[in-house]
Structure 1
Amino acid sequence: MTSDPQTVFAQAQQDVQALPRKPGNDVMLKLYALYKQGSAGDAGSNRPGGFDFVGAAKYDAWNALRGKSPEEAQREYVELVKSLQAGS
């Protein structure tokens, strides 16, 4: 297994799609936020409004990671996926 962080992050993105069961909404939001922070950096300033409750929840989860380095977010994402694979 390679230890290149980008390769490990990309593999974790594939692994999460192959989980035997879909994680709960809280975990899915955390995965989304860590993925976005790890791939795009801090959230923009345009929070979805109106009746876009899902979009607003995703934005809020991502925005809560503001200031976390993409590398740290990628590491946390990989660790979370590994814990889901282990069933914890």
Structure 2
Amino acid sequence: MGLEENFTASANQARGFTKRPPDADCLEVYALYKQATVGDTNTAKPSGGELLSKWNAWNSKKGMTQKQAKEQYIAKVAALAPKYA
């Protein structure tokens, strides 16, 4: 499988987790997914709450290529899967 297929398979696997990973891992997976699919943050910084946490996590990936983000996303999901799938 190529990178795109592996990325899609990993995204489907993450959506199918039966247990919720810790918040830090969820934010990392979210940030890598957004960077892989959208690129650098393209919205204004929210004022607070969960949206701010997600935005900060995503913004921490600023400058990372979408290819790098996909590779890291695949690796992160693979690391989480044995415990949370």
The two structures share one fold, judged by TM-score above 0.5: yes
Residue 63 of structure 1 aligns to which amino acid in structure 2? N
Name the TM-score, length of structure 2 as normaliser.
Answer: 0.91
Q: What is the RMSD computed on CA atoms of the aligned residues?
A: 1.5
Identify unmatched segments of 5+ residues in structure 2: none
Name the structure where helix makes up a greater proportion of residues. Answer: 2
* Shift, 1:45, TM fit: 4.9
Q: How many residues align?
A: 84
The correspondence for 1:54, drawn from 46, 50, 54, is 50
Displacement of 1:87:
2.8
Runs of 5+ in structure 1 lacking a partner? none
Moved over 6 A (4+): none
TM-score (norm 1): 0.88
Cα deviation for residue 86 of structure 1 reads: 2.5
Quote the residue 1:13 is aligned against: 11
> Which segment is superposed worse, 29-38 or 11-20?
11-20
Greater RCO (CA < 8 Å, at least 6 residues apart): 2
* Structure ID, larger Rg: 1
